[in-house]
Chain A
Amino acid sequence: SLCKSVIYGIITYRRRGQLAALSIAAVVIIVGVPLWWRTTETYRAWLPVSQINELSNLQLQLSAEVEVVFARGTVTPEQQKKVPLTQIQDEEHTVDEDTALRYRYETKYRTATIMEEDALNQPTAAEADLSLHTLSESPCGSLVVYVIPESSSLLPEDMDVYVGQRRTALLRIGAQMRVGKTLDQLLAHLEPRIKQVLQVMSFSHTDISAALSDRVRLSPGNKESIADSMRTFKSSPGYEITFSLLNPDPKSHRLHWDIEGAVQTYIQPLLTKLASVANFSIDSQTLYYAMLGVNPRFDSSLSAYTLHSDSLAHVINPVEARLGSNAASSNPVLNFLLYVPDAHHSPLYIHDRKKQEVPSNAFHSPRWGGIMVYNVNGFYGPEAVFPVDVNINMAKVMGVFLAQLRLLLGVQSSTAPSGFLVAPCGSNGLADWELDRLMWSRSVENVATATTTITSLAQLLEQIGNIVINDNIAEQVSSAVTSLQLAVAELETGNLRFALQYSKEAILASERAFFDPSLLHLLYFPDDQKFAIYIPLFLPMCVPILLSLLKIVSDARQKRREKQAKKD
């Protein structure tokens, strides 16, 4: 029985060995491999990929409401019976395979009320505009066009349309539309003009396609629009405006400028009106002994110094190095420089390419700012005692800077069609319809930028497998997607203010998600380096297990062969 127990021990020992090898293999495969996988995978929170893919295909609809009001003498009684009338027109444009635009114009036709007739009886168009405005205020994004008879004296002879300061336009009806025409013919006659008014006062296809430039790299449509898009600053939640006074000659000129008062009076109203578009922060500085960096030429025929337009490009760089900026924010900066030439180089005039003097004596650089040359030699005679105190006429200066500011922010509209008379911008430096235009193009630009940011972020995260996606990124992306969907919906219904607000939220969220510091891709390891790390860890452990498994298999095969032999 000792023999039996020894033999029994040998057999169970072998079986124990087999069991041990099998159980180790089982633990490694069932527990070890998943554990290793989980601990070495990069954490990627769930992103709403399907919604993002939906957004990559952008179908934008912009809706504008127009009210066309017929004054007395423009419609016959038969035509008047069919009014009031509402028409909806759609205009489709396919920009590229992923982007499509639809413009919806909802036109309401009606006749003028008695109070409106009184307002239209004012002597000048500007006064008519003012009285019409006191009657009713059009909501943001809508327009009212008053059709006035041909005999009306509000417009000069050669002009058909007057574009007011708010959201009103006056359209003079043509002579042939007097009698014997149906309402439909009258509307058909007016339609091209009303469309032109919409292009000027609301949105035009060129502006909107320029606003989509983040999504679609357009081939040059026309030079004007390219220059406009290169000049205006891209949409940003905030801007910084810096006014600088450059005094190269403090020994001769002691300059006084009431910049705070001027900003408060002239610039702040514009910025307050633009508050829905962006935040602005303003500062100012004075730089002494700052030279222009270009030598002006003395023109004896004018007995003045001149700067030719070709040399203007080299003026900015030496000055820019000394300007400084607010270190805390990353907002784009608009610089406005007022340069007072030194006493030996006064007066200094800027000449354009045709060697003509420029009335404003100022120039601007796209996406940078503007420079104005202010001559003070007229303020003192030859016997003056230096330094001379000079008070700068801020109204003149701010007139130029305001115009440049409007250009750089994209407020300035492109050329209107012939026959249009456009009123000067109002007390704020910005007409209501100009604000609407800006809001339209900014909303579209924000939506376009946010969609490209989100879709490219999703694409990048898919492509580059070793980037960790934290929960807060997923949150930002989801909120950006929600805001985008809301913005597109509001644009469809024509609620311009809300559309702009949602589009701004979408941009903020998408930028925050894309530029989150945690999204740096982990270091790239080529495959051979990965093998070099894992093999010394896993190979020594796996070799005995593998060998014992092989031994188990060969033992089992041998047993089967023995059993077969026994049977035979």
Chain B
Amino acid sequence: MSLTGSTRRFSPLVPQENAGQFFSSGHTNNWAVLVCTSRFWFNYRHVANTLSVYRSVKRLGIPDSHIVLMLADDMACNHRNPKPATVFSHKNMELNVYGDDVEVDYRGYEVTVENFLRVLTGRLPPSTPRSKRLLSDDRSNILIYLTGHGGNGFLKFQDSEEISNVELADAFEQMWQKRRYNELLFIIDTCQGASMYERFYSPNLMALASSQVGEDSLSHQPDLAIGVHLMDRYTFYLLEFLEDIHPSSKANMNDLFKVCPKSQCVSTPGHRTDLFLRDPGSALITDFFGSVRKVEITMETINLTEPIHSFR
């Protein structure tokens, strides 16, 4: 049995058009690590923050298999929630950020500093399932979002422990050494959030924070029916900004830096781009928040006319 294959003659004219679209960002896949670090009912707004970023990221295309969602407490099914199975972002109750298909990977007491660092550095016990791992490679763009209560140089987890900015910077350095990311966008919405990115020293990191050192990040508005503040200001305006982004949008990072100016946020959002190798104006929002796949047309096929048998 012979294979009626077409002998491949290589001519110098190869479709170069596919190669061109690869070079704008250098990444082939996207990951997101979204963490809410506070528990207790009155910290409803932190869960709402995280869920609204989760919702935007899913809407723009990142699948659940590429999102690690860590929520330290359950607000939707909390006994004190007058509207069970919902988490709202605005007192108009128009947007239920909890949605129909939330996939929480680390819940409740599993959200600890240790687990967070383990997820980032990849040092998880072998029995950890795929959904709880950050399986990024050197061509992954990662979005990391943290929210909760913080201070100058630390972020509080679960009301009992803290992560310091030194540990966070070391964790990112370990990720860089093992080539676990191509570019990383770090967003933090806590009081004195800018202190958390002060100590970064690895390349290709861009960071945004909701407030400077010495300033508090404020919450948006309370809802009298639910009884707590629903969202933080910075993330509220961030969500508003992201709702206008769609998968083929060309908005870039400079637009993201303008989100929530002091007039709306009361605190001064900050950002850090000195470690980022590209110009922030050339980095699209969808490079981090969405998942635009590169595709190539399959030009060659193998002609299998008959079942293949071994030649001997």
Residues of A participating in the B interface, judged by any CB pair closer than 8 Å: 130, 159, 213-214, 220, 223-224, 226-227, 230-231, 234, 265-266, 269, 309, 312-317, 320-321, 325-330, 350, 352-353, 358-360, 362-368, 370, 372, 395-396, 398-400, 402-404, 406-407, 412, 415-418, 420-429, 452-453, 456, 459-460, 464, 514-517, 519-521, 523-524, 526
Stretch at the interface among B31-39, B60-68, B188-196, B220-228: B60-68
A320-B65, A363-B296, A415-B10 known; A520-B123 Cβ under 8 A:
yes
A399-B304, A403-B300, A422-B10 known; A524-B179 Cβ under 8 A:
no
Selected from A159, A317, A358, A396, the residue in CB contact (under 8 A) with B291 is A317
Contact, CB under 8 Å: A519 / B311: no
B241 surroundings in chain A (CB, below 8 A): none
Which of A327, A366, A526 gathers the greatest number of chain B CB atoms within 10 Å?
Answer: A366
**Bound-state Cα–Cα, A425 to B3, Å:** 9
Residues of B participating in the A interface, judged by any CB pair closer than 8 Å: 3, 5-12, 14-20, 22-23, 26, 28-29, 61-65, 113-114, 117-118, 121-125, 129-131, 133, 135, 137-139, 164, 166-167, 170, 173-174, 177-179, 247-248, 291-311
B300 surroundings in chain A (CB, below 8 A): 360, 403, 412
Contact, CB under 8 Å: B14 / A224: yes
Selected from A130, A362, A367, A416, the residue in CB contact (under 8 A) with B29 is A367
Beyond A360-B300, A524-B170, 20 additional contacts (C-beta under 8 Å) are: A223-B16, A269-B308, A312-B295, A317-B63, A328-B130, A365-B28, A366-B28, A399-B303, A399-B304, A406-B302, A415-B12, A420-B10, A424-B5, A425-B5, A427-B308, A427-B311, A517-B118, A520-B118, A520-B121, A521-B117
A223-B16, A330-B130, A365-B293 known; A399-B302 Cβ under 8 A:
yes
Selected from A328, A372, A460, the residue in CB contact (under 8 A) with B177 is A460
11 A-B pairs with CB atoms under 8 Å apart are A223-B16, A227-B19, A358-B299, A359-B301, A364-B296, A366-B28, A400-B298, A426-B311, A427-B309, A460-B173, A524-B164
**Bound-state Cα–Cα, A22 to B210, Å:** 59
Contact, CB under 8 Å: A321 / B308: no
B248 surroundings in chain A (CB, below 8 A): 314
Quick one: closest B residue to A367, CB to CB?
B28
Contact, CB under 8 Å: B298 / A517: no
Contact, CB under 8 Å: B8 / A422: yes
A265-B307, A464-B170, A520-B118 known; A234-B137 Cβ under 8 A:
yes
Shortest distance in angstroms between A108's beta carbon and chain B's nearest beta carbon?
27
Which of A330, A422, A526 gathers the greatest number of chain B CB atoms within 10 Å?
Answer: A330
**Bound-state Cα–Cα, A213 to B7, Å:** 32
A224-B14, A395-B305 known; A330-B297 Cβ under 8 A:
no
Contact, CB under 8 Å: B10 / A364: no
A407 surroundings in chain B (CB, below 8 A): 298
Shortest distance in angstroms between A390's beta carbon and chain B's nearest beta carbon?
19
**Bound-state Cα–Cα, A324 to B18, Å:** 28
Contact, CB under 8 Å: A520 / B8: no
**Bound-state Cα–Cα, A168 to B3, Å:** 19
**Bound-state Cα–Cα, A265 to B304, Å:** 11
A223-B20, A456-B177 known; A313-B293 Cβ under 8 A:
yes
List the 7 closest A-B pairs by CB distance, nearest first.
A424-B5, A456-B177, A317-B61, A227-B19, A223-B19, A416-B10, A362-B298
**Bound-state Cα–Cα, A172 to B11, Å:** 19
A520 surroundings in chain B (CB, below 8 A): 114, 117-118, 121, 123
Contact, CB under 8 Å: A398 / B178: no
Contact, CB under 8 Å: A224 / B19: yes
A521 surroundings in chain B (CB, below 8 A): 117, 167, 170
Quick one: closest A residue to B117, CB to CB?
A520
Contact, CB under 8 Å: A314 / B247: yes
B23 surroundings in chain A (CB, below 8 A): 220, 223, 226
Quick one: closest B residue to A264, CB to CB?
B307
A234 surroundings in chain B (CB, below 8 A): 137-138
Contact, CB under 8 Å: A226 / B22: yes
B133 surroundings in chain A (CB, below 8 A): 330
Selected from B8, B63, B296, the residue in CB contact (under 8 A) with A321 is B63
A515 surroundings in chain B (CB, below 8 A): 121-124
B308 surroundings in chain A (CB, below 8 A): 265-266, 269, 427-429
**Bound-state Cα–Cα, A144 to B12, Å:** 26
Shortest distance in angstroms between A243's beta carbon and chain B's nearest beta carbon?
15
A403 surroundings in chain B (CB, below 8 A): 298, 300-302
Quick one: closest A residue to B6, CB to CB?
A424
B64 surroundings in chain A (CB, below 8 A): 321
Contact, CB under 8 Å: A427 / B28: no
Selected from A320, A365, A425, the residue in CB contact (under 8 A) with B294 is A365
Selected from B137, B166, B247, the residue in CB contact (under 8 A) with A524 is B166
**Bound-state Cα–Cα, A368 to B295, Å:** 10
**Bound-state Cα–Cα, A353 to B16, Å:** 11
**Bound-state Cα–Cα, A362 to B301, Å:** 10
**Bound-state Cα–Cα, A423 to B8, Å:** 7
Selected from B20, B174, B298, the residue in CB contact (under 8 A) with A370 is B298
Quick one: closest A residue to B161, CB to CB?
A523
A423 surroundings in chain B (CB, below 8 A): 5, 7
Shortest distance in angstroms between A343's beta carbon and chain B's nearest beta carbon?
25
Shortest distance in angstroms between A430's beta carbon and chain B's nearest beta carbon?
11
Quick one: closest A residue to B166, CB to CB?
A524
Contact, CB under 8 Å: A309 / B295: yes
Contact, CB under 8 Å: B5 / A227: no
A214 surroundings in chain B (CB, below 8 A): 138, 179
**Bound-state Cα–Cα, A394 to B64, Å:** 31
Contact, CB under 8 Å: B130 / A327: yes
Contact, CB under 8 Å: B129 / A327: yes
Which of B15, B16, B113, B138 gathers the greatest number of chain A CB atoms within 10 Å?
Answer: B138
**Bound-state Cα–Cα, A265 to B305, Å:** 12
**Bound-state Cα–Cα, A518 to B123, Å:** 8
**Bound-state Cα–Cα, A420 to B8, Å:** 9
B130 surroundings in chain A (CB, below 8 A): 325-330
Contact, CB under 8 Å: B295 / A313: yes
Shortest distance in angstroms between A523's beta carbon and chain B's nearest beta carbon?
7
B297 surroundings in chain A (CB, below 8 A): 309, 350, 352, 358, 360, 362-363
Shortest distance in angstroms between A242's beta carbon and chain B's nearest beta carbon?
12
Selected from B18, B135, B298, the residue in CB contact (under 8 A) with A360 is B298
A372 surroundings in chain B (CB, below 8 A): 298
Contact, CB under 8 Å: A404 / B118: no
**Bound-state Cα–Cα, A372 to B302, Å:** 14
**Bound-state Cα–Cα, A227 to B305, Å:** 31
Contact, CB under 8 Å: A399 / B14: no
Shortest distance in angstroms between B154's beta carbon and chain A's nearest beta carbon?
10
A223-B23, A321-B64 known; A517-B14 Cβ under 8 A:
no
B170 surroundings in chain A (CB, below 8 A): 464, 521, 524
A314-B247, A427-B311 known; A226-B302 Cβ under 8 A:
no
Shortest distance in angstroms between A402's beta carbon and chain B's nearest beta carbon?
5
**Bound-state Cα–Cα, A526 to B122, Å:** 25
**Bound-state Cα–Cα, A159 to B10, Å:** 11
**Bound-state Cα–Cα, A368 to B137, Å:** 13
Quick one: closest A residue to B164, CB to CB?
A524
